[in-house]
Structure 1
Amino acid sequence: MNRREAIKKTAFLMGGTLSAAAISGVLSGCQPTPQGIDWEPLFLTREQGETVAAIADRIIPRTDTPGARDVGVPEFIDLMLKDNYDPDDQQRFRSELTNFEASVMEKHKKPFAALTPEEQDAILTQLDQEAYETTHRDGYRAKTDKPLFTMIKELTLLGFFTSEAGATEVLQYDPVPGQYNGCVPLAEVGKTWAT
């Protein structure tokens, strides 16, 4: 297995970790984040970077811990798209993102990043449901290209939980774990471990 395959498989495994109920619970404690981006995209256009940043920030918003934007997830997504996606997937991502931006602009008369958090959440909830229905047909996972929202969600989760803040402030982290205890009740250790 090469590095790209490992990253794709990790992103796939992490992509199913948030349910609609979990997202709803997290979003209820969100704090607003400033609009715009303060970095120069390498793969995306500036407008696309703002859209991706706004989406990532609604997936993992700032609460009592940093949000996706705070730990550099939008920059991570841009870099992953540039360096790790093949040309066909890059083109499909750009095309779907352009279509998404045009659809939002047509319906709301302003870009996604300028919408209220409630409007953004409504759009993303619908996209999440559509993505699920596209990839899970007749009780099994369909072999199809991942929808745009699924790609962004996977990259957001991967970028956040591999960041220092995600690994140390959200997950349990022990840089040198010491002894190995293979069967420990979760109640004794608390939350999921990053290492």
Structure 2
Amino acid sequence: MRSAHRFFRPRGVTVPDRPSRRAALKALAVVGVAPTVAEAAWLHPLVPRQPGDTRWRPRFFTEAELAAAEVVAELIIPETDTPGARAALAHQYIDWRLSEAAPDSRVPVLVREGLAWLDRESQGAFVERSSAEQTALLTRLAADPPTEPEQAVDFFREFRRLTISGYYRSEVGMQEEIGYAGKQYLTEFEGCTHEHHLDWTPPRRDV
């Protein structure tokens, strides 16, 4: 189980340095990334492709934006003892979500302009900066209280939410990080096995 990363920790949620899976899931619930029925069905390797097409292609991002999105997502959820956002293809999930956004949603523009802001602040391509420089820039956006322009901070918060959402909807996040094994067929159900419950009988009620 990964330790809490400073970019991964939802604002206003206290997460221990070595959180349990239960604590991590509780934190995710606070930021509203528990999957809906429709979204939970979205597993990255199962995304439909055109017949004969073996290469995934972005539907929203340009190639340069996709490269930046991949780096930012991995900095938010880096590889530790379990795979990070890159291995979970969180950047592909984000591309899909943005391509499916409602026409009046401000999120696609917010993300696109936010990635451009990272390049401007980097005085060049963000992806070409060192890992330390990239981390320092995102640390500025994660500051509480905020120290950077409101739109840039909003971009980072939204991108972090999308990254966490995509990670825990992926096979990597669900199976390797959370340990979800899918629906299991039980040949029998033993019920509660707590010792102090074994001899329990319901109280009698006078009619």
Tell me how far apart the structure 2 counterparts of residues 20 and 47 of structure 1 sit (CA, whole Å): 34
What residue is the counterpart of 1:81 in the other structure?
98
In structure 2, the partner of 1:147 is 154
The size of the alignment, in residue pairs, is 141
2-structure distance, mates of 1:71, 1:154:
15
Residue 100 (structure 1) aligned to one of 114, 118, 129: 118
Cα distance, 1:165 vs. partner?
1.1
Structure 1 or 2: larger helix share? 1
CA apart distance, 1:170: 1.0
Gaps of 5+ in 2: 1-8, 19-54, 195-207
Identity of aligned pairs, percent? 26
Q: Give the corresponding residue for 2:131.
A: 117
TM-score, structure 2 length as denominator?
A: 0.57
The letter of the residue matching 2:107 is: D
Q: Note the C-alpha offset of 1:15.
A: 4.0
Query: Quick one: distance in 1 between partners of 2:90 and 2:159?
Result: 10
Q: Per-residue deviation at 1:54?
A: 0.5
**Runs (5+) with no aligned partner, structure 1:** 1-13, 24-37, 135-143, 184-195
Residues 152 and 89 of structure 1: CA distance in aligned 2, closer, same or farther (over 3 Å): closer
Is the CA contact 2:107–2:158 (under 8 Å) kept in the aligned structure 1?
no
Equivalent residue, structure 1, for 2:39: none
**Which of the two has higher C-alpha Rg?**
2
SS of the equivalent of 1:147 reads helix
Q: Compared with structure 1, are the counterparts of its residues 39 and 51 closer, same or farther at alpha carbon in structure 2 (3 Å cutoff)?
A: farther
The residue identity in structure 2 corresponding to 1:60 is I
Give the alignment's Cα RMSD to 1 decimal: 3.4
Per-residue CA deviation, residues 65-122 of structure 1 (Å, 9 max, x unaligned), is 2111111110101111110354433223222322232221x2xxx4111222111111
Quote the offset at 1:17 in angstroms.
8.3
* TM-score normalized by the length of structure 1: 0.60
Whether 1:175 and 2:182 are equivalent positions in the alignment is yes
